Amino acid sequence: MIQGSRLRLKGWQQAAVAVGSAVGALLDPRRADLIAALGETTGKPAFDRVLERMKKSPEGREILSERPRVISTKVGHAWDLPDNTFGAAYARFMGSRNFSPDDRPPVRFMETEELAYVAMRAREVHDFWHTLFGLPTNLIGETALKVIEFEQMLLPMCLMSVLGGTARFSDKQRRVFYQHYFPWALKAGARSTDLMCVYYEKHFHEDLEDVRRKWGIIPAPPPPRPNATIGVPL
């Protein structure tokens, strides 16, 4: 059972929540609850497609059957794993930013328990993707990851986040993003495996570079040096 009360909305109510969430999130991008509401109220067709893909994948079916949660009581052992492992890299990512896996808002607007779980899973693996792709949590890093998330799930919220994020860039940030990170993100999202069908927790003990190769992950390029020619090699 996904914790948190879910609300069944009529069409006009769903549209109102989506518009209100979009405006609120644009005004204050730190409002994770508004971003989550926007993703749920605009993303049902996308989550339906992700669910069907998971049902066709052996590992995806295992996830749907066991319904693992990315919460501290379930992933805390990652902090005790060897430094070279995926789990340890995730722990370093979280610890260096004082993040907690328990901070994600609950799913509220999905119609079925199964879709609610898929929406929650997409939300909870976000930091795994940060770790795998080596992206920071600044505005450019989050926007680049939203490009990958859109390619992987086709969630309208991800596209809106990219548009909203780039609108808030300075001229220099916008130039760096579109010339340096955007081409990489398009390539990385297209080349990687179906990341919603990966049971990440069962790979914590594996070498980080090994799982990157196995899942077709292309880590983010380093930030461009001042006065360097910007570009991402193909």
Residue 28 assigned as binding residue: no
Residue 149 assigned as binding residue: no
- Of 33, 218, 12, residue with least CA distance to 108: 33
Helix axis angle, 113-124 relative to 58-66, nearest 10°? 110
Residue 180 assigned as binding residue: no
Kindly compute the dihedral angle of the four CA atoms of residues 218, 226, 144, 214, in this order, to the nearest 10 degrees: 10
Annotate the chain with three-state secondary structure: CCCCCCCCCCHHHHHHHHHHHHHHHHHCCCCHHHHHHHHHHHCHHHHHHHHHHHHHCHHHHHHHHHCCCCCHHHHHHHHHCCCCEHHHHHHHHHHHCCCCHHHCCCCCCCCCHHHHHHHHHHHHCHHHHHHHHCCCCCHHHHHHHHHHHHHHHCCHHHHHHHHHHHHCCCHHHHHHHHHHHHHHHHHHHHHCCCHHHCCHHHHCCCEHHHHHHHCCCCCCCCCCCCCCCCCCCC
Binding-site positions for Zn(2+):
126-127, 130, 142
Binding-site positions:
126-127, 130, 142
